Amino acid sequence: MTEQRYHVIGMTCDRCAGTLETKVGGVLGVDRVGVDVSTGSVTVTGEVLDGTKVCAAITEAGFEVAAIL
């Protein structure tokens, strides 16, 4: 299992977290998505993760990837 973390700008509430979980969770290879609104972090876990597709999903959800941690 691989884990990737992203610092995301623009998350302010639980609804934001839910939107991100849905969008990122739909990326092929993603098994689990954890969102921490207070720190702005998104943790993605899966067997084979494509960081480019995860970043695209975050952007499509209306947020900005500030850094890959």
pLDDT in tens, 7-47: 999 999 999 999 999 999 999 999 999 999 999 999 999 99
Res 60: pLDDT = 96
In the predicted structure, residue 69 carries a pLDDT above the cut 90: no
SS3 13: coil
**Based on the structure, what is the number of domains in the chain?**
1
The one-character DSSP state at 29 is T
Per the structure, the complete domain to which residue 25 belongs is given by 2-68
CATH number at residue 35: 3.30.70.100
Specify burial of residue 20 (Cβ count, 10 A radius: 0-12, 13-18, 19+). buried
Helix (H) or strand (E) holding 64: strand 64-68
**CA–CA separation, 11 and 43 (whole Å):** 14
